[in-house]
Structure 1
Amino acid sequence: MKKLLLATILIANSLMLTGCLPAIQGASTISTIITTTNDRRSAGEVLDDRTIMFRMLAWPNQDVSLKDAHLNFMVYNKSVLITGEVPSHAVRDYTIQQAKIQEPKIKQVFNEITVGPNSGLLSRSKDAAITAQVETLFHDQEVFHPTLVRVMTESQTVYLMGAVTQREADKAVKSAKKAKWATKIVKRFDYLKTRPAAEIERDHQRELAAQKKAELKKQQAALDAKKAKLKQELRALGGNNAEGTPF
């Protein structure tokens, strides 16, 4: 755990040294736009989410009403989570209303925006470090594939999105709570009754392949041992050409 915290602190420090604010703002949402073979969404759904994400990221820079706002976005299955700070309740209401019409494919918008001054560089660096910790912790468990749950952190609150079973959701929350500095976990999951059948079959095939590989390795080890024993027996019989045997 100490190594994990050290790594995340180094990440945060490197972000601060760069002085690159957009990089920090995007650090908490980068996993949202990464496509993996383990995704439970279809290729079309992934493409839709990426399209929505890019549109949302570009929107604040194009809307003068949001020039004093600090907004972050996370998208999953056409649902948009918005966090950050705005200067007034009027701007917050405006943001939510306008967010819904930025892209026709958006199904719903989760409002996690607060009214108040924008977070500073140190706060955003800490949020990025928390996200890095959580994503690392997701790799240190075997209940769900780490890419199935999207992570974003705002003001030390960790937001989780994805299509998961109740067991997977519980494990994700339990893992996220271990992250240092995280004060709250918010779930925005799409719940599944069971794991997808295709995914279960894929894992079954992987397990069979691993078993077959292990068996072949065991057989090869046994064969090598027999060869070594045969060579020893040849040497014991005084065979001068034992080293030259063709095996």
Structure 2
Amino acid sequence: MQAPISFRATLLILALLPALDACVPALLVTGTAATMISVHDRRSTGNQADDETSEWKGSNRLPAEYKNHAHVNFTAFNRNLLLTGEVPSDEARQAIGAMAEKIEGIRLVHNELVVAPPATFSSRSNDAFVSSKFKARLLESNQLSANHIKAITESGTLFLMGLVNEREAKVAVAIARTTDGVRKVVNVMEIIPEEETRRIDNSLLGARTPPPLAAPVETR
């Protein structure tokens, strides 16, 4: 049974709220691409910008012979690059993976491309909805910030990227596995010590501008 439109819209809004709240007003422009930099992201602002640039380079360097016969997504997080989507042959899969490995600044490429016909618009829309449901449930759990996890769904397979500690990774995987519409979970999150996540989070909170002092109130 398909969820009511209002419910679907609510989930989409819930999933987007953390990202919207975490963006600073300034735009960072790299080449012809403009992106918002999050002050709540555990990645450095430099790595955030590099990730956006890497995704742009991947899309633009896709070999011409595959552009009309493949559906490829390039998702970068902390200089790790995830390739998802469908390609016409294993040769195409290997060629695109080799191209991705040559993108400047990328440390590791996760080539999760599959040999299959390109996903339909309906399938891609459903995948986006599955990702939004996961993000909404992550937000509702109140166990870790949704800003620390990037979710990408392809044909029901939910890929998780992020910079998290072991406890947070377990929470994210548990929520992903029980999200409606998820057929399989692929964990490509980068695990760092809990002390390091605490240090980064404290530095991010310390960098925020403190709220102005409240004005005094006189009762007469």
Q: What TM-score do you get using the length of structure 2 for normalisation?
A: 0.75
Once the two structures are TM-superposed, the CA of residue 202 in structure 1 deviates from its matched residue by 6.0
Alignment of 1:40 onto 2:42: yes
Write out per-residue CA displacement over residues 74-113 of structure 1, whole angstroms, 9 at most, x where no aligned residue: 1111111001111111111111111212x21111110111
184-193 or 197-206, which deviates more: 197-206
% identical aligned pairs: 27
Alignment of 1:81 onto 2:82: yes
- 3-state SS of 1:153 partner: strand
CA contact (8 A) 1:8 1:133 kept: no
CA contact (8 A) 2:11 2:133 kept: no
- The 3 A distance-change label for structure 1 pair 36 and 116 is same
Alignment of 1:1-247 (within 5 A): 6-7=7-8, 34-60=36-62, 63-101=64-102, 103-194=103-194, 195-200=197-202, 247=220
CA contact (8 A) 1:5 1:180 kept: no
- The 3 A distance-change label for structure 1 pair 204 and 48 is closer
Q: Distance in 2 between matches of 1:131 and 1:153?
A: 6
Q: Distance in 1 between matches of 2:65 and 2:39?
A: 39
- 3-state SS of 2:41 partner: coil
CA contact (8 A) 1:8 1:132 kept: no
- The 3 A distance-change label for structure 1 pair 63 and 138 is same
Once the two structures are TM-superposed, the CA of residue 159 in structure 1 deviates from its matched residue by 0.4
AA paired with 2:93?
A: R
Q: Distance in 2 between matches of 1:166 and 1:106?
A: 23
Q: Distance in 2 between matches of 1:174 and 1:204?
A: 31
Q: CA RMSD in A?
A: 3.1
Looking at secondary structure, tell me which structure has more strand per residue.
Answer: 2
AA paired with 2:131?
A: T
Q: Gapped runs of 5+ residues in structure 1?
A: 12-32, 225-246
Q: What TM-score do you get using the length of structure 1 for normalisation?
A: 0.67
Q: Distance in 2 between matches of 1:65 and 1:125?
A: 22
CA contact (8 A) 1:78 1:108 kept: yes
Q: Gapped runs of 5+ residues in structure 2?
A: 13-34
Write out per-residue CA displacement over residues 213-238 of structure 1, whole angstroms, 9 at most, x where no aligned residue: 9xx9xxx8xx96xxxxxxxxxxxxxx
Would you say how many aligned residue pairs link Structure 1 and Structure 2? 192
CA contact (8 A) 1:162 1:190 kept: yes
Residue of structure 2 equivalent to 1:28: none
- The 3 A distance-change label for structure 1 pair 10 and 135 is closer
- Say which one has the larger Rg: 1
Q: Distance in 2 between matches of 1:35 and 1:150?
A: 15
Q: Distance in 2 between matches of 1:9 and 1:48?
A: 32
